């Protein structure tokens, strides 16, 4: 009797366990299909990864097993970030957060991460299971939105500032005109009107031009050769600029062409080259170097000159502002770079500059 009972108990238990295993198996499949999973030992060395982990990190299983999880560290987070993470999980607590990682090919990805410590019977962690979800796209959108808001805010201040200066001059001038009693004096005041009015008019045209690109987004992109574009631009540059002696070298061998709206590429090159000519140093022959290259799957154009340069410490943040000039140069109007920046950013790129006062300037356009 006892034996039979024992036997049927075992069968029951076996059936029960079989059910549990099957459930676990199903849950693992569900998890592997949806999440990026890794298991590490207490030192952070990887002991298990699923296919999704390989897919996003672009490493294969052999390259990851036994390696420390730091292999995907992007360097984006400060050391304190990971110290706090380790403190949490080594105390047996669950850690949750967003991490930027780096894949084998150098590209970055963001993951919403939960790390669960598995505890032994003394409540000490013996391994860590991390479950992540790819949030790269959301992060990108968040970033874009932030940039866009920043851009709009800057734009608002720029408009208010640049329209306000001439406008406030006009306000005072007209009130003076109203109070003025002699014809001579009125004539003098009237002669002062044209300058702020012209400034207003120019500022307005520039703003319209820089906004135009936002409507132009559907403009056709075409395969453009950097060299052909440069030749076009050289022909467009006004003759008086070109009268100076200069040496222009270019190297487009790394990346010969780009798919981009022609009008804008020409405009960027034109503005950067005109700037190089306009702000050349009187002490030395102007040399300009243009090159293109690809990094992180993005195309860059680099334009450097040996001109006057800008004091980046004092002016760096305002370099791309509207109507900013730095040299007191007579024909500087200071809107070329503002428009260039707006156009590049609207088309999803970035422009940055490095410069040293008295040495020269280098611009980088990331398309």
Partner 1 sequence: MTTVESLYLIDDDDTFQFLAQRTIAETKVVKLIKIFSNGKEAIDFLGYAIDNFEQLPEVIFLDLSMPIMDGWGFLENFLLLKPKIGKKIFIYILSSSINPTDIERAQAINDVTDYVVKPITKDKFLALIKSL
| Residue 182: count of CB within 10 angstroms of its CB | 8
151 touches partner 1 (CB under 8 A)? no
333 touches partner 1 (CB under 8 A)? no
Binds partner 1 (CB under 8 A): choice among 195, 263, 284, 285: 195
Closest separation in Å from C-beta 27 to partner 1 = 52
165 touches partner 1 (CB under 8 A)? yes
Closest separation in Å from C-beta 235 to partner 1 = 31
Task: Specify whether the CB–CB gap between 263 and 224 falls below 8 A.
Answer: no
173 touches partner 1 (CB under 8 A)? yes
161 touches partner 1 (CB under 8 A)? yes
Binds partner 1 (CB under 8 A): choice among 168, 186, 225, 256: 168
Closest separation in Å from C-beta 157 to partner 1 = 4
279 touches partner 1 (CB under 8 A)? no
From the centroid of its chain, how far is CA 350? Answer: 6
Got the DSSP string for 198-245? Answer: HHHHHHHHHHHHHHHHHHGGGPPPEEEEHHHHHHHHHHHS-HHHHTS-
Residues 6+ apart with CB under 8 A from 98: 110, 111, 112, 113, 135, 139
Binds partner 1 (CB under 8 A): choice among 31, 71, 176, 248: 176
Closest Cα to residue 76, out of 139, 137, 127, 147? 139
Residue-wise burial string across 347-363, b where 16 or more C-beta atoms lie within 10 A, e elsewhere: bebebebebeeeebbbb
Binds partner 1 (CB under 8 A): choice among 78, 79, 282, 328: 328
What's the CA gap between 367 and 357, in Å, rounded?
27
146 touches partner 1 (CB under 8 A)? no
| Residue 40: count of CB within 10 angstroms of its CB | 20
From the centroid of its chain, how far is CA 355? Answer: 20
75 touches partner 1 (CB under 8 A)? no
169 touches partner 1 (CB under 8 A)? yes
Closest separation in Å from C-beta 75 to partner 1 = 30
How many residues in the shown chain lie near partner 1 by CB under 8 A? 26
β-strands 36-40, 246-251 pairing: unpaired
What's the CA gap between 345 and 341, in Å, rounded?
6
Q: Tell me the C-alpha to C-alpha distance, in Å, between residue 199 and each of 154, 204, 325, 342.
A: 20, 8, 14, 20
Closest Cα to residue 54, out of 105, 20, 114? 105
CB-nearer residue toward partner 1: 103 or 167: 167
Closest separation in Å from C-beta 308 to partner 1 = 11
Closest separation in Å from C-beta 160 to partner 1 = 6
CB-nearer residue toward partner 1: 36 or 337: 337
CB-nearer residue toward partner 1: 167 or 248: 167
Element (H, E) at 247: strand 246-251
Closest separation in Å from C-beta 176 to partner 1 = 7
Binds partner 1 (CB under 8 A): choice among 104, 262, 278, 315: 315
Closest separation in Å from C-beta 165 to partner 1 = 4
150 touches partner 1 (CB under 8 A)? no
Residues that bind partner 1 (CB under 8 A): 157, 160-161, 164-169, 171-173, 175-176, 192, 195-196, 314-315, 324-329, 332
């Amino acid at each position: 009797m006892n034996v039979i009972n024992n036997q049927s108990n075992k069968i029951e238990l076996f059936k029960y366990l079989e059910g549990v295993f099957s459930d676990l198996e199903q849950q693992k499949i569900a998890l592997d299909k949806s999440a990026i999973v890794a298991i590490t030992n207490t030192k952070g060395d990887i002991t298990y990864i699923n296919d999704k982990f390989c897919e996003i990190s672009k490493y294969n299983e052999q390259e990851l097993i036994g390696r420390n999880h730091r292999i995907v560290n992007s360097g984006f987070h400060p050391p304190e970030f990971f110290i706090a993470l380790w403190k949490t999980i080594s105390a047996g607590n669950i850690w949750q957060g967003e991490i930027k990682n780096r894949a084998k090919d150098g590209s970055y990805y963001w993951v919403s991460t939960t790390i669960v410590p598995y505890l032994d019977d003394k409540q000490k962690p013996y391994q860590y299971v991390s479950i992540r979800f790819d949030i790269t796209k959301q992060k990108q959108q968040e970033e874009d939105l932030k940039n866009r808001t920043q851009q709009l805010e800057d734009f608002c201040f720029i408009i208010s500032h640049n329209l306000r200066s001439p406008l406030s001059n006009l306000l005072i001038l007209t009130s003076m005109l109203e109070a003025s009693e002699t014809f001579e004096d009125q004539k003098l005041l009237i002669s002062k009107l044209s300058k702020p009015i012209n400034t207003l008019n120019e500022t307005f045209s520039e703003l319209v031009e820089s906004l135009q690109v936002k409507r132009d987004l559907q403009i056709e992109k075409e395969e453009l050769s950097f060299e052909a574009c440069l030749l076009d631009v050289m022909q467009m540059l006004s003759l008086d600029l070109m009268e100076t002696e200069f040496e222009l070298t270019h190297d487009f061998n790394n990346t010969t062409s780009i798919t981009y709206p022609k009008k804008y590429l020409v405009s960027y090159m034109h503005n950067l080259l005109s700037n190089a000519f306009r702000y050349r140093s009187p002490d030395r022959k102007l040399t300009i170097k243009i090159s293109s290259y690809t990094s992180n799957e993005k195309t860059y154009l680099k334009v450097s000159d040996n001109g006057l340069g800008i004091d980046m410490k004092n002016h760096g943040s305002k370099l791309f502002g509207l109507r900013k000039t730095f040299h007191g140069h007579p024909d500087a109007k200071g809107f070329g770079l503002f428009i260039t920046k707006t156009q590049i950013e609207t088309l999803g790129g970035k422009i940055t500059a490095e410069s040293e006062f008295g040495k020269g300037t280098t611009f980088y356009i990331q398309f």
